[in-house]
Structure 1
Amino acid sequence: MRASCLALLALVLAGCPKQVERVAGTDDSRIDAASAQLEELRLKEQSEELPCPDRCTVAQQTCTVAEELCGLVEAHPDRTDLPPRCVQAREQCAQANAGCTRCQNG
């Protein structure tokens, strides 16, 4: 009897998965998505055929995504693996802005 009760309890618990939202997992996904966006923007920005107005638009987009990524990173101060991603994103923003400035100044 006791064994059948334990078996039934195990089945009930196994059959009812709990909905647990993983904040860190969600943020990790968002950080990965932002990193992927930054890579796409970097490749666009490096295109020789990119007209100056488009280059400046890409720079603005790059900086926006970089700051979003850094906001996500700052939400997890205990994660030592994330700050370098923010630094890299901000460096990419600065490089993209420099490219925009160069093309505007001739």
Structure 2
Amino acid sequence: MKKIDSIENFEELVQGKDVFWLIKHSLTCPISANAFDEYKQYVGENKDIDTYYLAVQEARALSNYIAEKYQVKHESPQALLFKNNHIAWHASHGKITVASLQNAVNES
């Protein structure tokens, strides 16, 4: 799991990776911390797909860029599954669980 914090980093990902996960999370929100823990657990159990994260407080411009470019309402926490430069699945808050992330990969 790698941290990204710039639009340039993100665009390199989109251009270079067919499939990857990205989670937006808040450094101060307990709900976000719980979702991030679920994400980290998923990452630990699933090494097939590259995984990334951004901290909203540190990468507000990137977070807004993603919301605008892909027309997905910004939320934090928010998990996004990218496939071929499109968002194949996304969820926020309590819907981010190890099971939901795994199901998203299997169904997308």
Q: Which has the higher strand share?
A: 2
Give the TM-score taking structure 2 as reference length: 0.29
Higher RCO structure, 1 or 2 (CA under 8 Å, sep 6+) = 2
Structure whose alpha-carbon radius of gyration is higher = 1
Give the TM-score taking structure 1 as reference length: 0.29
